[in-house]
Amino acid sequence: MYTQALDLPQQPEAAGAARLKVVVTPPSEAQARSQARFDAVLDADGKIEPQDWMPEAYRKTLVRQISQHAHSEIVGMLPEGNWISRAPSLKRKAILLAKVQDEAGHGQYLYSAAETLGASREDLLHALHTGRAKYSSIFNYPTLNWADVGVIGWLVDGAAIMNQIPLCRCSYGPYARAMIRICKEESFHQRQGFESLMLLMQGTPGQRAMVQDAVNRWWWPVLAMFGPPDADSPNTAQSTRWGIKRISNDALRQKFVDATVPQAKVLGVSVPDPELRLDEATGHYHYGPIDWDDFWRVVNGQGPCNAERLATRVKADADGAWVREASLAYAAKQAARQGAATAQEAA
Where do contacts with ligand 3HC occur on this chain (CB under 6 A)?
A: 64-65, 68-69, 72-73, 76, 103, 134, 136-137, 156-157, 160, 163-164, 225, 227-228, 233-236, 239, 245, 249, 299
**Would you say 208 or 225 has its CB closer to ligand 3HC?**
225
75 near 139, Cβ under 8 Å? Answer: yes
Task: Report in angstroms how near the CB of residue 101 gets to ligand 3HC at its nearest.
Answer: 12
Task: Report in angstroms how near the CB of residue 2 gets to ligand 3HC at its nearest.
Answer: 16
Angle at the Cα of 15 from the Cα atoms of 13 and 21, rounded to 5 degrees: 75
**Would you say 103 or 273 has its CB closer to ligand 3HC?**
103
Task: Report in angstroms how near the CB of residue 240 gets to ligand 3HC at its nearest.
Answer: 9
Task: Report in angstroms how near the CB of residue 82 gets to ligand 3HC at its nearest.
Answer: 15
Cα separation, 35 vs 100, in Å, equals: 41
- Three-state DSSP class for residue 89: coil
Task: Report in angstroms how near the CB of residue 258 gets to ligand 3HC at its nearest.
Answer: 18
224 near 137, Cβ under 8 Å? Answer: yes
Dihedral of alpha carbons 59, 60, 65, 68, sign = positive
Dihedral of alpha carbons 284, 287, 289, 295, sign = negative
106 near 73, Cβ under 8 Å? Answer: yes
**Would you say 9 or 234 has its CB closer to ligand 3HC?**
234
Angle between helix axes 90-115 and 121-129 (nearest 10 degrees) is: 120
**Would you say 193 or 285 has its CB closer to ligand 3HC?**
193
286 near 277, Cβ under 8 Å? Answer: yes
**Would you say 282 or 300 has its CB closer to ligand 3HC?**
300
**Would you say 68 or 254 has its CB closer to ligand 3HC?**
68
Task: Give me the long-range contacts of 323-331 (CB less than 8 A, separation at least 24).
Answer: none
**Would you say 112 or 233 has its CB closer to ligand 3HC?**
233
Angle at the Cα of 268 from the Cα atoms of 267 and 272, rounded to 5 degrees: 105
Task: Report in angstroms how near the CB of residue 69 gets to ligand 3HC at its nearest.
Answer: 3
61 near 239, Cβ under 8 Å? Answer: yes
Task: Report in angstroms how near the CB of residue 51 gets to ligand 3HC at its nearest.
Answer: 24
148 near 216, Cβ under 8 Å? Answer: no
